[in-house]
Amino acid sequence: LTLLLGLPLALASPTCAPLIPVTFDNATVPGLLGHWVYIAGASRYPPHLEELKALKHAAFSFSPGSHEDELNVTETMRLNETCVVRNTSKVLVFRHNSTLVHVDDQVFATANLIQSDKDLLILRHLNDDIPSLSLSARTPNVSKEQLEEFRSHLHCLGFTEEDIYFTS
C-alpha cells in the first residue's frame, strides 16, 4: 500500500542527475583558456549572494600563468553602477581532486567544473557545503537547452527561479 501511494509522487518529481565534476586531464586547462561571459548564478553563501545581487555584467579571460597549473585571470564587471577591472587574480588547478581555486589577494574560492558543453563553464562553488552554482559561456547568449540544463542543476540543489541572478 505504501508503495502504491508513493508511486505518483515518485513519477511526478523530476530526476536529479548528480553534478559530475570534470576529471582534469591534459586537455582541461587549455580548454579553459580564453574569453568567458558570466551569465547567471545562485547561492546560499552570504558573501556570494551579496555580490550576485550587485553584479550587472561580468566577463573574464583565462590566460596561461607562470606555472603549468596556474591561470591568470582578467575580470571586467559592473557592480551596481561601478565598473571594475581586475587583473591581479589567479586560478590554481588541482588535478588530483579536479578543483579550481580562485586566489584574489588573500581570498580563496574553490569550485568544481561540472561536466557540460565545452562552451559552458558551470561551476559548483564549494563553501562549507552551502550550495552555489554559476554559469558562464563563451558568448553572451546561451541556447534554451543550455539554460535548461543549468536550471535543472539548480532545481536539484533546491533553488527556485527567484534564487537565480542573471546579468544583463
Report the CATH number that the domain containing residue 102 is assigned in CATH. 2.40.128.20
Residue 4 lies in a domain: no
Residue 12 lies in a domain: no
Count CB-CB contacts under 10 A for residue 57. Answer: 14
Query: Distance (Å, rounded) from C-alpha 123 to C-alpha 109?
Result: 11
Query: Distance (Å, rounded) from C-alpha 103 to C-alpha 105?
Result: 6
Give the percent of the chain with pLDDT over 70: 92
Please give the residue range of the domain that contains residue 46.
27-166
Computed over every residue of the chain, the mean pLDDT equals 88
Taking the model in full, what pTM does it have?
A: 0.86
Instruction: Provide the domain count of the chain.
Output: 1
Instruction: Output the pLDDT for position 14.
Output: 55
pLDDT digits (tens, 9 = 90+) for 13-59: 457 878 899 999 888 889 999 999 999 999 998 888 889 999 999 99
pLDDT digits (tens, 9 = 90+) for 121-140: 999 999 878 889 999 999 99
